[in-house]
Amino acid sequence: MPYSSILETIGRTPLVELKRFQPREGVRIFAKLEGQNPTGSVKDRIARVMLETAEAEGRLSHDKVILEPSSGNTGVSLAMIARYMGYRVKIVLPDNVTSERQALIESFGASVEFSDGQKGTNGAIEVAHQMVADDPDEYVMLYQYGNEANPRAHYEGTGQEIVDELPKVTVFIAGLGTGGTLMGVGRRLKEHNSEVRVIAVVPHPEERIQGLRSLDEGFIPPILDPKLLDGQFIVTSSESFELTRELLERESIFAGISSGAVLACAVRVAERMDSGNIVCLMADGGWKYLSTGVWTRPLEELEAEMGRKIWW
Ligand SMILES: Cc1ncc(COP(=O)(O)O)c(C=O)c1O
């Protein structure tokens, strides 16, 4: 059956076994490939549910601008979906994210306001709050960090899809950004089997991995309930680069850098297990990271840049 619009193609992403990362028989690693969504990331799911919910509640109007702080993926997804729905969008973006993100947001007709890249997404959140406070009649913010529609999109979508495809999940691993993925998928999987362990991947506090945050920076997203997490794994930027490359070299899967971080965690968890199924969520495809040269440049060169903290 043909889809009635591009919005209907969001979700139902493939779950692919990573056989070439299997440490021993009985321990299996699966990757949910969110890069297969229309704008190439998991954020299409939450942008659609947040926009549809806000529209149904009468919070959106064509005179107002939808304003959102984002490290990029949510911005691209909101720009794409709001364009289809006929609303205007402005995204507050740290000024050191990859150039593809700005280009994509602008291609979908949204505008970009930059925040200080050294402050990461926390800086973008501050700027967006200030803009709404200064001009409440101009802007409406969906605020992915505090919007229950974010984890709900994962509870009803991503989590349900995993339960349907792989009923026996032992460990679920995802990166921590807003916490929406971990909360929504975590709740759905634990409801199905209370023994499932949910593990958050966070960057080293002194490093940056685009899309991920360390809770040590002091901001805990309101939608995040740390009690639902069974563990946190710290991954360095260089491990993330390495595993992003290995994922492509061994499995021919072209995913973003936070997927490398998630895979680094999965490989370590798998080594400690005797049996069971690990599901990793690969949040985006590799397209938005081509300009970093992560697949083509020497690792030492990438690490030297990382030292200047241009990665977010
Ligand atoms: C590339 C990437 N990975 C992981 C995440 C984390 O997802 P969540 O916000 O659901 O915690 C994000 C979100 O910003 C992201 O952009």
Q: DSSP string spanning 38-59? A: TTSBTHHHHHHHHHHHHHHTT-
Residue 213 within a domain: yes
Question: Which pairing describes strands 88-94 and 65-69: parallel, antiparallel, or unpaired?
Answer: parallel
Residues of the chain with pLDDT under 70: 306-312
154/282 Cα distance (integer angstroms): 14
pLDDT value for 121: 87
Of 114, 141, 168, which closes a domain? 141
* 157 CB-near residues (< 8 Å, 6+ apart): 11, 45, 49, 184
Is the separation of the CB atoms in 80 and 44 below 8 Å? Answer: yes
* End-to-end Cα spacing for the chain: 40
Residue 237 within a domain: yes
241/228 Cα distance (integer angstroms): 28
Residue 117 within a domain: yes
Q: State the residue range of the domain holding 130.
A: 43-141
188/225 Cα distance (integer angstroms): 14
Residue 284 within a domain: yes
Nearest Cα to 265, choosing from 21, 25, 60? 21
Of 141, 167, 193, which closes a domain? 141
pLDDT value for 281: 98
Please check whether residues 106 and 194 belong to one and the same domain. no
Question: Which pairing describes strands 27-33 and 15-17: parallel, antiparallel, or unpaired?
Answer: antiparallel
Residue 32 within a domain: yes
Output the CA 47–ligand 1 centroid distance in Å: 12
Phi, psi of 286 (to 5 degrees): -80, -10
212/121 Cα distance (integer angstroms): 9
The pTM of the full predicted model, rounded to 2 decimals, is: 0.96
Output the CA 180–ligand 1 centroid distance in Å: 8
- List the structure tokens of 185: 């998928």
Please check whether residues 125 and 216 belong to one and the same domain. no
102-139 pLDDT, tens digit per residue, is 999 999 999 999 999 988 889 999 999 999 999 999 99
Output the CA 1–ligand 1 centroid distance in Å: 31
Residue 152 within a domain: no
Please check whether residues 28 and 47 belong to one and the same domain. no
Please check whether residues 52 and 32 belong to one and the same domain. no
Please check whether residues 58 and 165 belong to one and the same domain. no
Residue 151 within a domain: no
pLDDT value for 309: 45
Total domain count for the chain? 2
Please check whether residues 30 and 80 belong to one and the same domain. no
Please check whether residues 220 and 302 belong to one and the same domain. yes
pLDDT value for 218: 83
Please check whether residues 31 and 111 belong to one and the same domain. no
Please check whether residues 32 and 111 belong to one and the same domain. no
Please check whether residues 175 and 245 belong to one and the same domain. yes
Please check whether residues 207 and 136 belong to one and the same domain. no
Write the CATH number for 266: 3.40.50.1100
39, 42, 145, 225, best to mutate for ligand 1 pocket (most atoms within 8 Å of CB): 42
pLDDT value for 312: 38
Check if 258 is active-site: yes
Pocket of ligand 1, beta carbon within 6 A = 71, 73, 175-181, 210-212, 256, 258, 283-284
pLDDT value for 306: 64
Please check whether residues 47 and 31 belong to one and the same domain. no
Residue 148 within a domain: no
Of 107, 141, 175, which closes a domain? 141
